[in-house]
Structure 1
Amino acid sequence: MPRSGYTLPVFACASAIAALQWLQNRTCCQTVAVDLICPDQTVEIAIEQVAGISPQMALAITRSDPGDNLDLTRHTPIWALVEWLESSPQQITIVGGEGLGHKLNGDPAVYSYAQQLLQVNLLRLLQPQENIKLTIILPEGRALAERTSNAAFGVVEGLSLLGTTGISQPLSAPGQLEACLEQVRLKAKSNKLLVFCIGENGLDLAQNLGINPQQLVKTANWLGSLLVEAASQEVKDILLFGYHGKLVKLAGGIFHTHHHLADGRLEILTAHAAQLGISTSRLQNIFNSSTTESALQYLRDLDEQTGSNWVQELYNSVAAAIDLRSTQYIFKLTSRHVDVGSVLFDRDRTIVATSQTAKTLLSQLC
């Protein structure tokens, strides 16, 4: 059975706890207890090194262990530098150091779950009058980020502390499609409307909208198999919730979205743009864009310059095609009719398009 591990926020939190404990009682611990919050359990995390930098500052190091997951952050070191502050408007000030990416507005890429994890675990150790500054450092983060899609989501110069749970499920490991299918089977028992979230960004955004977690399924790249399984479990409605650079593939009939298997995203966008009557020179610009995100930005710039509405028209067309192709795919393989709606968002987690079916489903979910 593949082994689960923990997400990056857990190791950042463990390092911070170890460094704070050194400041408080000058002890170097080999493990620390971290309350994961989600799920509701406490786990022991190994500490690789702890060192006092000065009486006011300490550094601790952990190494990422995502379990049997094909995760490029495996064994990467996570440093936490904790220092006392004499006065501060908040007890814990979190700062991004080298290798921790930052958002386009300059804030460190420490998302809601990681913030909650750090605040809850560290506040338990602090006296009311104690204030600390926590600097999170990922020495390998800048290099590793070049191999991720972080930049597509507006995170630059490093990795992000992203996730909605402390457990890293090995969903990308070989043979783990079955784990995703089991999630569909389990949730279909009590919900006939499911929300398929493509990756952590989709899952996090869906939860922020207030959608019931019991209706959320994190899908990874196996959308076709999961759509069919949901129909077989008599699910009546499915909302697809994901980054436009992933979901656009479904508009072209590509139901396994990993880029190693098939791409065609820019070709699909260009074909829909041609159907809408965009001029040849502009079609060429879309087709020759380096990414779907840059194609979207080109269309936004075009709309601003000319007063057109190409972004909305094009992405509404793509969303409608995703719905239709998904419904047809399910019916072809199961002879069952399932209503499918789609919500597409950009790198800033701004929703770009919501299909007509998706609007109906969202009104039931939110």
Structure 2
Amino acid sequence: MEQNSRQSGHLQETGLENYCKISEGRRLQFGYTTGSCAAGAARAAAFMLLTGERADYVDLLTPKGIRLHLEVLDIRREREFVSCAIAKDAGDDPDVTDGVRVYARVSRRQEPEIVITGGTGIGIVTKPGLEQPPGAYAINSVPRQMTEQALEQLCREQGYEGGLTVELSVPEGAALAEHTFNPRLGIEGGISILGTTGIVEPMSEAALISSIRLEMNQQVELGRKSLVVTPGNYGQEFLRQSELLSLEEAVKCSNFIGETIDLAVELGVEHLLFVSHIGKFIKVAGGIFQTHSRNADARLEILTANGVLARVPEPLLRKVMEAVTTEEGVRLLEEGGYLEITMKRVMERIQYHLNRRSLGRTLVGAIVFSSEYGRRNHSHGELGRTENAELILEKIYGI
């Protein structure tokens, strides 16, 4: 089990060697969450505290059913407590917490209960709408359950009838948190201890959608029923420059346009305004709601089709169709004097598909812009608004 069954310092198997996914021809390795690190470190520290033996490795069964074999680091054994760490391994998932060490300091308590608290580098929740209430450490329920179950089992095995206090910490947590969603969500002073399965699946769509839901739910809990959504960095920059729109309240949805509308309906959002670059949202004019290029890329086809409806001359349509980027297509239409009428058609189609997806339960609109168009015209680059956009702006900002 936790004992010195393997020599420390050698390359060891974690239990994830055979777990991967194939994406765009690449083999992407699974990893494990900060929640698994916390539970593993707590179990190892408790084992050493209760037995007096050293543990260089710890085994942990995750909620996903995968058993991990994790190296125990930075062991400190004192009379009153034992402290140790597990290093996070995000696999091939791009994660700022990859490699961070999650520490658990375990001590005895007289009351027969497991108490889990936070310390240095663990964020504290300051706003409603998150899984943990305001004032609590950002240690989510599944990591708490994993830790409690691991320690309760260990106490039974060792015949220990007292309780244990577990203090989790991440020395680098405060600095790392600045590169996460935590400051936007109202989690201050550190990172969160997360994970619903204990396992990190690289570029998991489910995890991304879950984070969108979390952010939207928090806005709803704060009493906001009219939300601004932007797919990515271009939209964030547009909001930053715009005098009409607030960046603080905007939700980032990546490529999940359709899922974001579905979540808005589910959460009771009354008004939803997308602010997006033309290169992303032109796809919605064709009824495409998952806008990653690997799923669908008909940007120039859709722009050209709407140019046909706007009676753009055929020679210009051919140039638009042969353009390399949507921005180039916009420039060609602008130079030909057909941009405004083409974008009118595009925005009509966007509104049509937004209405179909929301089923009338949430009023959805969009503002579409072009970065290059803005630079050429010394403006924010707005290309068009759907018919619902004005009403939603009025509801959100009173303008």
The TM-score, its normalising length taken from structure 1, stands at: 0.50
Aligned with 2:295 (options 261, 274, 294): 261
1:145-165 Cα distance to aligned partner (Å, 9 max, x none): xxxxxxxxxxxxxxxxxxxx9
Aligned with 1:314 (options 331, 342, 345): 342
Counterparts of 1:181-220 in structure 2 under 5 Å?
Answer: 181-189=213-221, 190-209=223-242, 211-213=245-247, 215-220=249-254
Give yes or no for contact 1:68–1:173 (8 Å, CA) kept in 2.
no
| CA drift at 1:220 | 0.5
| CA drift at 1:317 | 1.6
Q: 1:251 matched to which residue of 2?
A: 285
- Which residue identity lines up with residue 179 of structure 2 in the other structure? I
Give yes or no for contact 2:212–2:252 (8 Å, CA) kept in 1.
yes
Q: 2:313 matched to which residue of 1?
A: 279
1:21-71 Cα distance to aligned partner (Å, 9 max, x none): xxxxxxxxxxxxxxxxxxxxxxxxxxxxxxxxxxxxxxxxxxxxxx88855
In structure 2, the gaps of 5 or more residues are 1-31, 35-89, 99-176, 182-199, 373-379
Counterparts of 1:124-139 in structure 2 under 5 Å?
Answer: none
Q: 1:353 matched to which residue of 2?
A: 384
- Which residue identity lines up with residue 344 of structure 2 in the other structure? N
| CA drift at 1:325 | 0.3
2:93 and 2:341 mapped to 1: Cα distance? Answer: 37
1:180 and 1:330 mapped to 2: Cα distance? Answer: 17
Root-mean-square deviation (Å): 3.3
- Which residue identity lines up with residue 231 of structure 1 in the other structure? V
1:267 and 1:179 mapped to 2: Cα distance? Answer: 32
Aligned with 1:180 (options 212, 221, 224): 212
Give yes or no for contact 1:188–1:230 (8 Å, CA) kept in 2.
no
Q: 1:325 matched to which residue of 2?
A: 353
- Which residue identity lines up with residue 356 of structure 1 in the other structure? E
1:352 and 1:215 mapped to 2: Cα distance? Answer: 23
1:238 aligns with 2:238: no
1:191 and 1:171 mapped to 2: Cα distance? Answer: 32
3-state SS of paired residue (1:356): coil
Structure 1 242/74 Cα, relative in aligned 2: closer, same or farther at 3 Å? Answer: farther
Q: 1:167 matched to which residue of 2?
A: 179
1:257 and 1:212 mapped to 2: Cα distance? Answer: 24
The TM-score, its normalising length taken from structure 2, stands at: 0.47
1:296-328 Cα distance to aligned partner (Å, 9 max, x none): 11111112xxxxxx1111112212211220110
3-state SS of paired residue (2:295): coil
2:263 and 2:324 mapped to 1: Cα distance? Answer: 35
Structure 1 252/213 Cα, relative in aligned 2: closer, same or farther at 3 Å? Answer: same
Structure 1 288/353 Cα, relative in aligned 2: closer, same or farther at 3 Å? Answer: same
Q: 1:295 matched to which residue of 2?
A: 329
2:33 and 2:352 mapped to 1: Cα distance? Answer: 36
1:337 aligns with 2:369: no
Give yes or no for contact 2:94–2:203 (8 Å, CA) kept in 1.
no
| CA drift at 1:213 | 4.8
3-state SS of paired residue (2:302): helix
Answer with 1 or 2: which has the greater Rg: 2
Structure 1 250/362 Cα, relative in aligned 2: closer, same or farther at 3 Å? Answer: same
- Which residue identity lines up with residue 338 of structure 1 in the other structure? T
Q: 1:362 matched to which residue of 2?
A: 393
Further displaced range: 175-184 or 244-253: 175-184
